[in-house]
Amino acid sequence: MSQSVIKVGVVGASGYTGEELVRVLARHPRVRLAAVCSRSLAGKSVADELPRLRGIVDPALKFSASSPEECAASDVDAWFLALPHGVAAEYARPLVAAGRRVLDLSADFRLRDLASYRKHYGHEHPAPELAAAARYVIPELQSDTSWKSAPLIACPGCYPTSIQVPVVPLLRAGLLRPEPGRLVINSCSGVSGAGKKAEVAYLFSERDGSMKAYGVPGHRHIAEIEEQFAAAAGAPVVVQFSPHLAPMHRGIATTIVVPAPGVTAAQVEEVWRRAYAGRPFVTVLASGDFPDTAHVAGTNRVAFSAVADPRTGNLVITSVIDNLLKGAGGQAVQCLNLIMGWDEAEGLR
Amino acid sequence: MSQSVIKVGVVGASGYTGEELVRVLARHPRVRLAAVCSRSLAGKSVADELPRLRGIVDPALKFSASSPEECAASDVDAWFLALPHGVAAEYARPLVAAGRRVLDLSADFRLRDLASYRKHYGHEHPAPELAAAARYVIPELQSDTSWKSAPLIACPGCYPTSIQVPVVPLLRAGLLRPEPGRLVINSCSGVSGAGKKAEVAYLFSERDGSMKAYGVPGHRHIAEIEEQFAAAAGAPVVVQFSPHLAPMHRGIATTIVVPAPGVTAAQVEEVWRRAYAGRPFVTVLASGDFPDTAHVAGTNRVAFSAVADPRTGNLVITSVIDNLLKGAGGQAVQCLNLIMGWDEAEGLR
Amino acid sequence: MSQSVIKVGVVGASGYTGEELVRVLARHPRVRLAAVCSRSLAGKSVADELPRLRGIVDPALKFSASSPEECAASDVDAWFLALPHGVAAEYARPLVAAGRRVLDLSADFRLRDLASYRKHYGHEHPAPELAAAARYVIPELQSDTSWKSAPLIACPGCYPTSIQVPVVPLLRAGLLRPEPGRLVINSCSGVSGAGKKAEVAYLFSERDGSMKAYGVPGHRHIAEIEEQFAAAAGAPVVVQFSPHLAPMHRGIATTIVVPAPGVTAAQVEEVWRRAYAGRPFVTVLASGDFPDTAHVAGTNRVAFSAVADPRTGNLVITSVIDNLLKGAGGQAVQCLNLIMGWDEAEGLR
Amino acid sequence: MSQSVIKVGVVGASGYTGEELVRVLARHPRVRLAAVCSRSLAGKSVADELPRLRGIVDPALKFSASSPEECAASDVDAWFLALPHGVAAEYARPLVAAGRRVLDLSADFRLRDLASYRKHYGHEHPAPELAAAARYVIPELQSDTSWKSAPLIACPGCYPTSIQVPVVPLLRAGLLRPEPGRLVINSCSGVSGAGKKAEVAYLFSERDGSMKAYGVPGHRHIAEIEEQFAAAAGAPVVVQFSPHLAPMHRGIATTIVVPAPGVTAAQVEEVWRRAYAGRPFVTVLASGDFPDTAHVAGTNRVAFSAVADPRTGNLVITSVIDNLLKGAGGQAVQCLNLIMGWDEAEGLR
């Protein structure tokens, strides 16, 4: 077994996503966490700076401030990038050039349409040639295994994961009628989704007791949702997406309303069961049993169910994930597991 | 001034809505809280059983177990009923017969269509003759003052209040295109909305960190929303309503998506400003400024704003209230104020 | 009555204490809120920047950036200073010189012993002559009315208020045996006690689910507690004080263990009832009924009770306050009410 | 390795402690979870009733209602009892008689002094002969391995674990002067410590924003704390223990004040480091670094530190645990690991 242990590194490990990645990788039986990079924390002890990881990481482990070139020159086999968009590409380019596996959690490589990237992120794409070679991967939605040999995996955003897993199979099966603007998505995210930013808006005293919408109507995640939905539907899809902040640390609850006249919950469940047979992280709940963020917190699972409303002809789909795991680091590790030919759930149970 | 002080009573004061009513009425300068009724707490001290009211209610005030007939025979001028549906009607009938003012917070008199009542509440209406005479009142939406002489005021549900205040003026103005099932409403409620029920589902340890949908697609509040929307639109309206539980004590955040092609946020705001000029509890926020439950907690205000999404042709309206005040007891007191000819905000600032 | 309306101002209104002061003063029937000062928010709308105050403050009210001299030159009668220590003195000096009433919520004038000030605050006292003239006031603990004519009132800290109200009368009555280090105080504060600081440590995602001690053993509030206890006991008192952060927005719960062999809860309650007869904000609970921060949130009350433990010879006293009201702005307004000869609870019910 | 897999069962699995035990045991590599018993949920699916365990337990696993005799007659090797006191003994007796390993999480076998049991639990001990043979075990505090052959392990309470781990080595080392009543302990517990009881007092709407003491001065856990402290100190110890409820799901934060004149933090840390060298679940923090419940949530760790206060001659020790793991099920599994000769941390990392 020992020959299959590979060396992995995390760049941008000081945030909540990075911390969760480090937690998962430190306990993963088939990887050795060889590098944990953070410019702001370079030289400091990981266990001291991220005390939730005490007892999990090696007490001697320290943050390093490695440059993209230093990372590429090291003998680390696979890199997880938990960096802001724009910065991720700076690391991705030399790492890919050096033949390293790259799992990017930023938005840099999620879009195939670079005009869409420019529009949503406000600058030219920093590495267009790499964007063309990258693959956007929710493992449960891949129809073949070609993605495993891509030089770079673009891990989806947290909201998009909670949305695509239940919806994409239904679009592919032609069960939905997503006329423009009629696929209405509401998501409620825990505060960790905003990152570890020292801003008044994210203080406990501001968010406690607070539910509110934000970023409506033009949240950046719409770009990747629509690009993926179009591929699944074989035609453009225009969604109405309204994200909200909820007073909790982690989790996303998404509610999707979409016209599907005459479609029953049983039909929907049949499509889901076929699409997700044997997938360890997908829980299809019975119609009328609504998923709960508290039930997936700390796991890599996505849980969802559907009700059909004969009064309106709509399906109402509700789904939940842990934004830091299935919505970020957990899904990235799941990708690595599959790339390496390991059990999909290795280190994630 | 003293001649205008009236005696008021609360029936069903042991729950969260009842407690909030008692809090408001105990500090209201123009009423005397003469009776606080609860069968389960009869004979006990109000301040001891509802300790958040210590220092607010008279320390000598005790719960009584008054029957409907005893209430009707007393000299209390106005009664607030914070009772389960079905039970409220038992009190309402003799109180109205005795000429008392009745402000009912239950669902018993919210629907004009008694077939709809039977369908949603599972039994024949307990007092059909009174249902015909009752008036369903959100004060800001009344076009004349005739409601003030009704023998009984049916106070709207919490969700419906957060929904109707922003939407009804737009329906009246003909700005929306609410084809069946296309008026999509998502609401997130604090846990107090479930009442003070000793059930495992509402324990701190179950709800902390938990966001989840429930009661989709057939929540009872749909009946009153659609009855009122039909009246405003002059045609039937079929809504898609999805309520959720959020990990907070109080507050409702509602997000409404509705087709309104070509309509701008400015047009919407103009309608709102006209409809709500001078109303002390309505806050119209600028487009792009999203309301926050934490900002209205403990107040009788409703705050909302709209964005128009040119990509989809939809309006997205977000609104917030405190479910226990504007969504229940506060609005009931607001009605009493207006009936009595007092300042609308008396005791509610 | 109108001749008794006075003009008041708040300096440092952008923080949580300042906001709460503005809320109380805006609704206070006998004051007019004439100035709300904040350098960081100067020129901005108060209702926009502190949206919890919408519907409470005049929508036209703006923050000003008034200098100490400008404040002193204005016709505002009384000033509340919600400023950091050191800065408060800069405002206090010209305001007092100009004959304005000053209610200072900072630590600048809480200590009579200026060596203690230097030791705890790290610099020489900025206005020693004023420190000598100032009075440290918890209204319920004043034995005469001489404090009302002091040029400056030093409002106690939040922890000290929760501690002194129950303990001082017992020290005065000689019921306790507070040998050095045996008066053991544990307090748990809501996160608003840390102020509106944009620091990672106070993010929702850090504090949710988190209880922890901090600042042990040398928290600055010890200085004022011991100075006041010494005055009450007629001898030096050395306390052991351990503050904690609790995962809630507001509130302080304090638990005090102190030797009092042979003393019964009934004796303690007798002292308290005598000391606090008629005081509207003091709630003495029965022995065995433990106070709860949720029951005093949003009020100016302090609630407490005592149990005597015959096994140990100790009294265990538990008390709660709202740190932003009785622990800060509410108590300051209470002082103003008494100075002006108004009802102690005016504007605070 | 497969020969060392043993069969384990949990009785009383419907509560929060039982759920956590099932979670740990279902993922433990060296046990097979063969029986999950709950009278109230018998016949129901574990994953449906405890949805946080979906994806962790076998979807086919069902609760059984096995009687003590049925459990004893089965081929399950080790049993965890997560039952109320009194009931646990009914199961323990036949299980021990049948030669099964029993790890009891109730209070039934924690006390050697049966008069103390009668006094604190209100009835005669239900199985005195077994009480004499049982061993009360915090693994880190055992000075030899004789406990591993005891027929029954009494797992300590949650509060006592957070208290004894830091204090017992100091008592053994003679560093403390715990005169009667001077060992002052304050603990703040998450709401899950109250169990999954459908009572109004534990509703989200009651506990949100609420800190309060309870059960002072006579909490039952005092009995086991004092029995263990006496053994460690070689003399009776009388503690002052004040438990509190904090607004969080899980975790205990304990603050202990005890006279230790002249003792330094360095001396304390030296004792701790010697006592706990190599123990995977003990984290000794530097003096001045205070432990945080959020940092140990979901782990079996106990973290603590000490400051010496030269002003008072006291040590102030602060410690945290997860009440459901190190305070209950995690510690029980740790005991099983050691009994079986496995790695202490097996299944608990």
> What share of chain D has pLDDT > 70, as a percent?
99
For chain A, how big is the Rg over CA atoms in Å? 20
pLDDT at C2 over 50: no
Average pLDDT, chain A: 96
Backbone angles phi, psi at B122, to 5 degrees: 80, 10
Give the long-range contacts of residues A303-307, CB within 8 A, separation 24 or more: A303/D54, A304/A165, A304/A166, A304/A272, A305/A265, A306/A166, A306/A265, A306/A268, A306/A269, A307/A265, A307/B216, A307/B217
Backbone angles phi, psi at B242, to 5 degrees: -125, 105
Q: Tokens 């309650």 appear where?
A: C269
Contact status of A237 with chain B (Cβ, < 8 Å): no
Secondary structure letter of residue A318 according to DSSP? E
Region A250-265 average pLDDT: 98
pLDDT along chain B (349 residues), means of 10: 79 96 97 95 96 94 95 97 95 97 97 94 93 97 96 97 98 96 98 96 98 96 97 98 98 98 98 97 97 98 98 98 98 98 96
Non-local (6+) Cβ contacts of B99 within 8 A are: none
Which residue among A52, A55, A294 sits closest to D52, beta carbon to beta carbon? A294
Is B55 in contact with C295 (Cβ distance < 8 A)? no
For residues A312 and A309, give the distance between their C-alpha atoms in angstroms, rounded to a whole number: 6
The active-site residue out of D37, D71, D155, D158 is D158
The helix (run of H) or strand (run of E) holding residue C153 is: strand C152-154
At B3 the pLDDT is 54
At D1 the pLDDT is 39
- The alpha carbon dihedral of B120, B123, B129, B135 has a sign of negative
Instruction: Give chain B positions within 8 Å (CB) of C54.
Output: 283, 295, 301, 303
ipTM of the complex: 0.96
Non-local (6+) Cβ contacts of C192 within 8 A are: A205, C16, C249, C250, C323, C324
pLDDT in tens, C126-166: 999 999 999 999 999 999 999 999 999 999 999 999 999 99
At D185 the pLDDT is 98
Contact status of A54 with chain D (Cβ, < 8 Å): yes
Three-state DSSP at B306 gives: strand
For residues A267 and A258, give the distance between their C-alpha atoms in angstroms, rounded to a whole number: 15
Is C205 in contact with A247 (Cβ distance < 8 A)? no
Which residue among D192, D198, D208 sits closest to B200, beta carbon to beta carbon? D198
Secondary structure letter of residue C44 according to DSSP? S
Q: Do C182 and C259 form a contact (C-beta atoms < 8 A)?
A: yes
Q: For C190, name the nearest residue in chain A, comparing CA atoms only.
A: A205
For residues A77 and A6, give the distance between their C-alpha atoms in angstroms, rounded to a whole number: 6
At B2 the pLDDT is 44
Q: Do B284 and B230 form a contact (C-beta atoms < 8 A)?
A: no
Query: Which is higher by pLDDT, D141 or A1?
Result: D141
At A82, list the tokens: 């938990």
Is C247 in contact with D250 (Cβ distance < 8 A)? no
Strand partners of residue C305: C318
Q: Do B276 and B282 form a contact (C-beta atoms < 8 A)?
A: yes
| Cα angle for residues C144, C150, C155 (degrees, 5° grid) | 85
pLDDT at C287 over 90: yes
For residues C154 and C138, give the distance between their C-alpha atoms in angstroms, rounded to a whole number: 9
pLDDT in tens, A127-147: 999 999 999 999 999 999 999
β-sheet with D135-136: strand ranges across: D63-64, D31-37, D6-11, D78-81, D101-104, D152-154, D135-136
For residues B305 and B284, give the distance between their C-alpha atoms in angstroms, rounded to a whole number: 6
Domains, chain A, with CATH or none:
2-133 (3.40.50.720), 159-322 (3.30.360.10)
Instruction: Give chain D positions within 8 Å (CB) of C206.
Output: 294
pLDDT in tens, D18-77: 999 999 999 999 999 999 999 999 999 999 999 999 999 999 999 999 899 999 999 999
Non-local (6+) Cβ contacts of C59 within 8 A are: C45, C47
Q: Is D342 exposed, middle or buried (0-12, 13-18, 19+ CB in 10 A)?
A: middle
Strand partners of residue C273: none
Closest-CA residue to C208 (of A192, D285, A53) = A192
Contact status of D281 with chain A (Cβ, < 8 Å): yes
At A103, list the tokens: 């799992």
For residues B37 and B64, give the distance between their C-alpha atoms in angstroms, rounded to a whole number: 5
Chains that touch A (3 or more CB pairs under 8 A): B, C, D
Q: Do B209 and A294 form a contact (C-beta atoms < 8 A)?
A: yes
Beta strands A183-189 and A152-154: pairing type?
unpaired
Q: Do D17 and D107 form a contact (C-beta atoms < 8 A)?
A: no
Q: Is B49 exposed, middle or buried (0-12, 13-18, 19+ CB in 10 A)?
A: middle
pLDDT in tens, A294-339: 999 999 999 999 999 999 999 999 999 999 999 999 999 999 999 9
Three-state DSSP at A224 gives: helix
- CA B93, chain centre distance (Å): 21
Segments of chain D scoring below 70 in pLDDT: 1-3
At A4 the pLDDT is 74
Q: pTM score, two decimals?
A: 0.97
Region C12-24 average pLDDT: 96
At A3 the pLDDT is 54
At B1 the pLDDT is 39
Secondary structure letter of residue A206 according to DSSP? H
Is A213 in contact with B253 (Cβ distance < 8 A)? yes
Q: For D15, name the nearest residue in chain B, comparing CA atoms only.
A: B200
Length of chain B: 349
For residues D89 and D134, give the distance between their C-alpha atoms in angstroms, rounded to a whole number: 11
Count of CB contacts below 8 A, A vs C? 59
Is B205 in contact with D192 (Cβ distance < 8 A)? yes
> What share of chain A has pLDDT > 70, as a percent?
99
Q: Is A67 exposed, middle or buried (0-12, 13-18, 19+ CB in 10 A)?
A: middle
Q: Which of D159, D216, D248, D316 to mutate to test the interface with C (most CBs of C within 10 A)?
A: D216
The DSSP secondary structure of A141-172, one letter per residue, reads G-SSSGGGG-SEEEPPPHHHHHHHHHHHHHHH
For residues C270 and C169, give the distance between their C-alpha atoms in angstroms, rounded to a whole number: 10
At B165, list the tokens: 């205040």
At C3 the pLDDT is 54
Secondary structure letter of residue A319 according to DSSP? E
Instruction: Give chain C positions within 8 Å (CB) of A200.
Output: 196, 198
Beta strands B302-309 and B282-284: pairing type?
parallel
Question: What one-letter code names the amino acid at B7?
Answer: K
CB count within 10 Å of CB A3 equals: 5
Is C349 in contact with B27 (Cβ distance < 8 A)? yes
Strand partners of residue C188: C244, C253
